[in-house]
Structure 1
Amino acid sequence: MHISLKDIDQSNYEPVCELDVTEAQEDYVACNMWSLVESHYNSSHTCKAIYCDNAPVGFFMWVQESASKISIWRFMVDKNHQNKGIGQVALAQAINAIKDTANLKEIEICYNPMNPVAKDFYSSFGFEEVGMDEDGEDMLARITL
């Protein structure tokens, strides 16, 4: 099983848009189609497909919030490919790709504090909770470089 991150273009955007999470996860993750539209109109947004071998199985979108900060806004693995370790490998690859950004000082991610898996998963990569977002809905966690 070979996991990689690939650019999204006209050759693979449709299968990426068809990826979906479980019904229980739908409240936690925006749809990939919306994320691709959003990124098309915002140059600070980067989208990547998560591939397992030669098939897209997941999606990332991160945003350059400032010269020193990037936030991971979207991260999902299709419901048919979850619990296989794909998310762990893909997140490690995404963090490494993000770290290549010049002048970067922090990587941020947010998640619903009611999501039972998120805190332990993200903390295993070095994300430390810093409190709720300005809307009081999502937990913010950061890696400081």
Structure 2
Amino acid sequence: MLEGPSRPRGESNMPISNPRVLLVPLATPEEQAHCRSLRVQDDQLDFVATNAESLQEAAESPWCQPLAIRAADSGEMVGFLMHALDPDENSRWIYRLMIDQQYQGRGYGRAALRATVALLRDLPGGPGVALGVVPENTGARQLYAAEGFVETGEIIGRELVMRLSPA
């Protein structure tokens, strides 16, 4: 389990700008079902695969690791991510990163991204971290750029590849 930034206790109805998150394996069928129920906003549906599709991909691909993103203070599942070691290029990829629509805009995405990068840098494999982003997903592109990811000019499928240089 890996933690990200925190927020003061007792402020559950206030916007969260610096939450702590835990990255936790989806250990039970109930957790996987809960993960499948998470949704992005309607205008984001074209930007990310569904969690059901991602969990199916993970079941078929031993190099994919699905994880729940949980709020550290409440334990509530606020999102989903999946990372993988690309066996061809020996580098780590963030395949999926989504925050449920009711938790967006509170800092969980940034906290999850930072926690994921920290996790991946500690794993064996290539030193770099990469991800793909749909070009029209300007919010995600801005977040990734603000966290040090750089667009490489590569396109895989319909996604721009962004890479974070080794620390």
TM-score where L is the length of structure 1: 0.92
Q: Identity percentage over the alignment?
A: 25
Instruction: Please state how far the C-alpha of 1:59 moved relative to its aligned partner.
Output: 0.3
**Secondary structure at 1:35 match in 2:** helix
The letter of the residue matching 2:106 is K
The letter of the residue matching 1:14 is A
Q: Which runs of structure 2 are paired with 1:34-45 in the superposition (5 Å)?
A: 34-45=53-64
Contact 2:132 2:159 in 1 (8 A): yes
Which digits, 9 at most, give the CA deviation of each residue in 1:20-57, with x for residues without a partner? 00000000011101111110121100111000121111
Give 5+ residue unaligned stretches, structure 2: 1-6, 8-19
Contact 1:68 1:106 in 2 (8 A): no
RMSD: 1.4
| Alignment correspondent of 1:74 | 96
Higher strand proportion: 1
Does 1:14 find its partner at 2:33? Answer: yes
TM-score where L is the length of structure 2: 0.81
The letter of the residue matching 2:37 is E
**Secondary structure at 2:83 match in 1:** strand
Q: Which runs of structure 2 are paired with 1:51-70 in the superposition (5 Å)?
A: 51-52=70-71, 53-66=74-87, 68-70=90-92
- Poorly superposed stretches of 4+, deviation over 4 Å: none
Q: 1:134 to 1:77 in 2, by over 3 A?
A: closer
Contact 1:110 1:140 in 2 (8 A): yes
Contact 2:25 2:68 in 1 (8 A): yes
Q: How many aligned positions are there? A: 144
Does 1:133 find its partner at 2:155? Answer: yes
